[in-house]
């Protein structure tokens, strides 16, 4: 054994016991809690998430952040006419068809609405959709069925 090979010993510091008088090495009457205030009191360090020292919490002041959601709201997804150029002539198209062809990730509670952006050159049959007025015109003009 050589003195250059010795590793430094890792010692663990003894934990100071709080609240047992001056002889324990951690303060006297304040015992490391400081003077006065909420955290100096017994049971004073128990806060809930969003606590602001007695002030009204931010999430209660701003309901749009707090998460109000209308129970009557139904989300709809808008799809443009140009997407339907992928399908073959004479196909019957439903929202489930769009789901299988991975155009939609999921069918929302409010359904799928077709908008008039783009042109439709194929004759298709649409079932289970909502339509904008212009989209309905373009679909009927192309010879497709609703």
Whether residue 99 lies inside any domain: the answer is yes
Q: Which domain holds residue 97?
A: 77-141
Distance CA 132, CA 39 (A): 61
Top pLDDT among 19 and 100 is at 100
Q: What is the pLDDT of residue 65?
A: 61
Whether pTM > 0.75 for this model: the answer is: no
Whether residue 85 lies inside any domain: the answer is yes
Which residues, listed in sequence order, are joined to residue 79 by a DSSP beta bridge?
114
Q: Which of 110, 114, 109, 111 is nearest to 125 (CA)?
A: 114
Whether residue 106 lies inside any domain: the answer is yes
Band of the pLDDT at 63, cuts 50, 70, 90?
Answer: low
Q: What is the pLDDT of residue 113?
A: 93
Neighbours of 134 (CB within 10 A): 13
pLDDT mean over 26-50: 80
List, for residues 71-100, the tens digit of each pLDDT value.
888 889 999 998 888 888 888 999 999 999
Specify the pairing of strand 112-115 against strand 77-80.
Answer: parallel
Whether residue 100 lies inside any domain: the answer is yes
Q: What is the pLDDT of residue 96?
A: 92
Q: What is the pLDDT of residue 28?
A: 75
Determine the distance from the C-alpha atom of residue 53 to the mean position of all C-alpha atoms in its chain, rounded to a whole number. 28
Q: What is the pLDDT of residue 85?
A: 85
Asked whether the beta carbons of 104 and 70 are under 8 A apart, the reply is no
Whether residue 27 lies inside any domain: the answer is no
List, for residues 94-141, the tens digit of each pLDDT value.
999 999 998 889 988 889 999 988 888 888 899 999 999 999 998 888
Phi, psi values for residue 77, rounded to 5°: -110, 135
Top pLDDT among 53 and 98 is at 98
Whether residue 14 lies inside any domain: the answer is no
Whether residue 64 lies inside any domain: the answer is no
Q: Count of domains in the chain?
A: 1
Phi, psi values for residue 83, rounded to 5°: -65, -30
Cα angle for residues 114, 120, 124 (degrees, 5° grid):
80
pLDDT mean over 17-28: 74
Q: Which of 90, 130, 123, 85 is nearest to 107 (CA)?
A: 130
- Average pLDDT across the chain, whole number: 84
Distance CA 77, CA 130 (A): 10
pLDDT mean over 58-78: 77
* Residue 134, domain CATH: 3.100.10.10
């Amino acid at each position: 054994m050589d003195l250059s090979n010795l590793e430094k010993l890792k010692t663990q510091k003894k934990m100071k016991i709080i609240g047992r008088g001056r002889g324990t090495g951690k303060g006297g009457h304040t015992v490391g809690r400081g003077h006065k205030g909420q955290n100096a009191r017994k049971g004073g360090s128990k806060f809930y998430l969003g606590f602001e020292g007695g002030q009204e919490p931010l999430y209660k002041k701003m309901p749009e952040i707090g998460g109000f959601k209308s129970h009557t709201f139904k989300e709809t997804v808008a799809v443009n006419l140009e997407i339907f150029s992928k399908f073959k002539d004479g196909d019957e198209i439903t929202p489930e068809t769009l789901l299988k062809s991975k155009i939609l990730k999921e069918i929302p509670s409010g359904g799928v609405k077709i908008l008039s952006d783009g042109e439709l050159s194929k004759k298709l049959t649409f079932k289970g959709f909502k339509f904008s007025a212009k989209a309905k015109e373009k679909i009927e003009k192309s010879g497709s069925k609703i």
